[in-house]
Structure 1
């Protein structure tokens, strides 16, 4: 009997470890590389565009802070703050329900949602920079080719 009890406890411990879905909190704190130039409005628009694209609901917009929330399957709810300047943004956890937040750990879906949001914002800013560069090159080429 003690060996059966011991085996059950070992199986239970293994199942608990395997089913664990909490990960360390992820807080993107992104300083833009020198190759990306954005003004305050471009930064705000890049953040808002990605929030909307990823189904986040924008709660509040102020000059250096955007607050947003997402509810998935009426079971998981997360609220975040995004602090931003023209050269920097930081995504901060504010609150959640159903995400098992405790001791600096949270459900792995939160990590995925924030990581995708971070990558999307950075990609949008890079795309904007590439578009501006292409327009400048095109304008320069037209000016050179135009007869006096």
Structure 2
């Protein structure tokens, strides 16, 4: 899925860029982490599930899913929040920022691209294969 704004920009983990159905770097998944006493939701980078959306102070970035700022993400009424108190916002030059929800937020929706352009499918599998191989996994192809 992609995390998209009303003006067709997508969150890439650190910035908002023009949405593109064929761009695998804009893909996210929703994960559940059971390491603590309560299950916690995270947003993981689709082609490297060890990387998640992370809040560090006023900054949003792509980082290690074990980071404390990677836990407790949620979405309601167009607000993407971390911990229910800090909302994803858009700063200057489309930089992703985290602001207190009482001060504002960037309205976002989760979208699932319907069409994968011809030729992109192979490059998407290539990205997944590279990420898997870096972690020592054996690449698999589904055709």
TM-score bracket, shorter-length normalisation: under 0.3
Which is strand-richer, 1 or 2? Answer: 2
Q: Which has the higher contact order (CA 8 A, sep 6+)?
A: 1
After TM superposition, the score normalised by the length of structure 1 is 0.21
Q: Which has the larger radius of gyration?
A: 1
Which is helix-richer, 1 or 2? Answer: 1
